[in-house]
């Protein structure tokens, strides 16, 4: 009972790291986007956990996480739109093929 907060935080850290791994190692762009969403979720979990068990419990943590979810959704939408445009130009959704940063 005393201090379940660290458990929530560690859970958040685990999810964050798994999301990071997925974002940096997957070839399909959609999966990369999905992994980034996982990372955002992990930070949301942190907010809500601190909202309940932190030094200053308040509802503003939850409100902030609402905003985060909103932003994440908008970003995912734009991301998929970009992906569609790229797919039309390159014919592939493989991130390894997107090497325009090289030149």
Partner 1 sequence: MGGLSVMWDNLTAFFSHGPNIVFTVLAVVIISAAVLMINFDKIVHMVLAMALAFIGLGGLYILLAAEFVAIVQILIYGGAMTILMIFGIMMTRHKNQEEEAKRPVHNVLLLIGVVALFGILFYAIQGTAFVTGAPLDPGSDNTAAIGELIFNNHVIPFELVSVLLTVAFIGAIVMAKREEE
Partner 2 sequence: MESTYAQFAWIVPLAPLVAFLLLLAVGRQVNRFSAHIGFAATLVSFIFALLVFVERLGEGSAYVWQDWDWLTIGGTAIGLGFEVNNLNALMLVIVSGVSMLVNLYSAGYMKGDPRYSVFFGYVALFTFSMLGLVLSSNLLELYIFWELVGVCSFLLIGFWYFKPEAKAAAKKAFIVTRIGDVGLLIAILILYWQVPYHDLGFVNLANAVTEGAIEPGVLTLVAILIFVGAVGKSGQFPLHTWLPDAMEGPTPISALIHAATMVAAGVYLVARTFFIFESSAAAMTVVAVVGAFTALFAATIGVAQNDIKRVLAYSTVSQLGYMMMALGVGAQVAAMFHLTTHAFFKALLFLAAGSVIHAVGKQDVNELGGLGKKMKVTAWTFAIGALALSGLFPLSGFWSKDAILTEALHENVLYFIVGLIAAFFTAFYMARLFFLIFAGKPRSSHDGHEPHESPAVMTVPLVILAVLAVVAGFIFTPFNSWFGDWLSGQPAGEHANWTVIILSNLTALLGIGLGWLMYGKRSIDSEAVAAKFGWLHKLVQNKYYIDEIYDAVIVKPVKALGDFLHLVDRFVVDGVVKLFAGSALLIGRLGTRMQNGQLQGYGLVSLLGIVLLMVLLAGRRFFHVG
Site residues for partner 2 per CB under 8 A:
20, 23-25, 32, 95-96, 98-103
φ, ψ at 94 (rounded to 5°): -90, 120
CA 96/CA 83 separation, integer angstroms:
14
How many other C-beta atoms lie within 10 A of the C-beta of residue 66?
A: 13
46 binds, among partner 1, partner 2, none (CB under 5 to 8 A by kind): none
Identify the residue among 56, 100, 102, 103 touching partner 1 (CB under 8 A). 56
Q: With respect to partner 2, which residue has the nearer C-beta, 88 or 100? A: 100
C-alpha gyration radius of the chain: 17
Beta bridge partners of 94: 28
Cβ proximity of 16 and 43 under 8 Å? yes
| Binding to partner 1 in span 16-35, by CB under 8 A | 16-22, 24-31, 33-35
Shortest Å, Cβ 102 to partner 2 = 3
Q: Rounded to the nearest whole angstrom, what is the least distance from the CB of residue 100 to partner 2 in the complex? A: 6
Q: Give, for 17, the enclosing helix (H) or strand (E).
A: helix 5-25
| Residue with token string 């493989």 | 94
By a kind-dependent CB cut-off of 5 to 8 A, residue 43 interacts, out of partner 2, partner 1, none, with none
Residue 100 interacts with which of partner 2, partner 1, none, CB < 5 to 8 Å by class: partner 2
């Amino acid at each position: 009972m005393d201090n379940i907060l660290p458990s929530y935080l560690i859970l958040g850290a685990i999810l964050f790291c798994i999301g990071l791994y997925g974002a940096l190692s997957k070839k399909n762009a959609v999966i990369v986007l999905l992994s980034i969403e996982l990372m955002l979720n992990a930070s949301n979990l942190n907010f809500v956990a601190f909202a309940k068990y932190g030094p200053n419990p308040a509802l503003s943590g939850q409100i902030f996480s609402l905003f985060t979810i909103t932003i994440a959704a908008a970003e995912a939408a734009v991301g998929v739109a970009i992906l569609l445009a790229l797919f039309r130009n390159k014919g592939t959704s493989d991130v390894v093929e997107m090497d325009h940063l090289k030149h």
